[in-house]
Structure 1
């Protein structure tokens, strides 16, 4: 189905998301390195967003021309890159949130947990989880293309999707759990900063600290939850593609809301961040 509006929207995301995430990744690696858990999670978040951006040109072509000449395998790969971004980004954002929670509420007791080594192990587990979820979903999608011989991509009829396996319910459940973690973390950090003014004074720029938590909630409630629940459970099918457009915007917001909200982002830092 040819739709130049969607092509324009996805093209705009590419124009903004590619340079923002490329510059952010360069600054994080060259100026900060992987010396703190926050940096490890943000580097992986930037990589996840860049992977999403690399898949969007294919969507632009599809919606601009209404054709998909690359076959089912390419369609599955592009679709998986899109879904993987929502999953990995939501997890890495939650890790950033939990790391900040431990740094503010339990600064001393959590020092042995908040290490770059532990963060790297957690990031590796995230990518393994994402790949594990890809397997059954890719198999289901391949069965769809074989059974129905669809020549298009992204716009196939929702009522003709093959049988959903139990693993298909894992991402929404995990997303709901992470939303709850973000809500609790936000409440605890806010309570701590208001209750212990003397201790909170040692936190660099408390406004930025709370901004990160607030924007975490915005990302989950406005971007991640609607597209995950709406598409997975086929709620209001006409909104399927608009929700995907909205979800792709997260790769443009991540650099602005998380990377640039940290003090001294452009400065070389040897100290461990919160």
Structure 2
């Protein structure tokens, strides 16, 4: 039976870990007010008038879930100890994983919604409704919950043999290996590549449509630069934040730094909301026409 002390499990820690604490703390300080303000604006001034708004609201919720889990990571990396027990570790771990999964899905939904609105405005009118967007978002959360249950049970089972509180990079080596070489981890990596491909195709089609003005919807888009910025940001999220941390199943030693990098995505998502609406800061009654074009 393994009987490691917290300090024994902490062997190999280096000066990078205080830097992780600083980054996670900065994400909390910057990301919390930005996302809280974004949620208030989206709900108060845009309501649920378009599928794009629905997906953005759920993206904000995903980011807020991540942010509320980060203070425990700050404490862990700053002190080298985990005082909260295995159950808290499981919750914090699941919230982090869910952010990567749900954010990538909702960003892909936003890209596909923009694609349909610009390239297939008439054919997609019945498909692009707020109610269908709400059902899609609810299905995503239910699937994630279903995945979390066996993952949580497995993590709890792996950690119960260790008397010292352990979490994150204090996982014993064999626990860490099992957690990050699971079938779910590889499936997540495959799905991320598929969603990246969807975003690339969507970006190319929208860019071509706007450039050629092949339909009335493309001609009526007031700010083509903002539309293209949305797609550019979506691709950036995948290539810089989502894919690298998912590749940790292959490059496991880089996982702490990649987790740190991935958390920054929630600070940049508010830019996506801003560029999505020319009238982001206006009152609800002033944006009805703008939302209708969405």
Normalising to structure 1: TM-score of the pair?
0.93
CA contact (8 A) 1:38 1:273 kept: no
The question of 1:26 aligning with 2:40 is answered yes
Among 135, 145, 151, the alignment partner of 1:131 is 145
Q: Distance in 2 between matches of 1:181 and 1:98?
A: 8
- Structure 2 residue aligned with 1:266: 281
Tell me by how many angstroms 1:254 deviates.
0.3
Q: Write the distance in 2 (CA, Å) between the matches of 1:101 and 1:157.
A: 45
For residues 126-161 of structure 1, the C-alpha deviation after alignment (integer angstroms, 9 at most, x for no partner) is: 101111111222122112201344422111244433
Once residues 51 and 83 of structure 2 are traced to their aligned partners in structure 1, the CA distance between those partners, rounded to angstroms, is 42
Give the Å deviation of 1:204.
2.5
Find the counterpart in structure 2 of residue 196 from structure 1: 213
Q: Is 1:167 the counterpart of 2:203 in the alignment?
A: no
| Distance in 2 (alpha carbons) for counterparts of 1:113 and 1:139 | 38
Q: Residue 180 of structure 1 corresponds to which residue in structure 2?
A: 197
Whole-Å separation in 2 of the counterparts to 1:42 and 1:94: 11
Matched ranges for 1:4-19 at <5 A:
4-19=18-33
C-alpha separation between the residues in 2 aligned to 1:217 and 1:35? 25
Task: Kindly name which structure, 1 or 2, has the bigger radius of gyration based on alpha carbons.
Answer: 2
The aligned runs of 1:149-168 (5 Å cut-off) are 149-155=163-169, 156-161=171-176, 162=178, 165-168=182-185
CA RMSD of aligned residues (A): 1.6
Distance of 2:128 and 2:245 partners within structure 1: 32
2:265 to 218, 239, 250: 250
Comparing 22-31 with 183-192, greater Cα deviation is found at 183-192
After superposition, the C-alpha distances for 1:158-216 in whole angstroms (9 at most, x for unaligned) are 44333755334322121111011001111111111122267322012010111111111
Unaligned runs of 5+ in 2: 1-9
Q: Deviations over 1:49-87 (max 9, x none)?
A: 001000000111111111111110100100100010000
Distance across 2 between alignment mates of 1:150 and 1:89: 33
Aligned-partner Cα distance in 2 for 1:4–1:177? 35
How many positions carry a matched residue from both structures? Answer: 270
Report the more deviating stretch, 165-174 or 56-65. 165-174
Partner of 1:113: 127
Q: What is the 5 A alignment of 1:10-159?
A: 10-155=24-169, 156-159=171-174
Q: Check whether the contact 1:136–1:165 (CA below 8 A) recurs between aligned residues.
A: no
Which residues of structure 1 form unaligned runs of 5+? none
> Is the 1:18–1:53 contact (alpha carbons within 8 Å) kept by the matching residues of 2?
yes
Structure 1 CA distance for aligned equivalents of residues 36 and 197 of structure 2: 31
Say whether 1:241 aligns with 2:259.
Answer: no
Cα distance in 1 for residues equivalent to 2:25 and 2:34: 14
Asked if the contact 1:38–1:96 (Cα under 8 Å) also holds between the matched residues in 2, the reply is: yes
- Write out the 4+ residue segments of structure 1 that deviate beyond 4 Å after TM superposition: none
- Per the normalisation by structure 2, the TM-score is 0.87
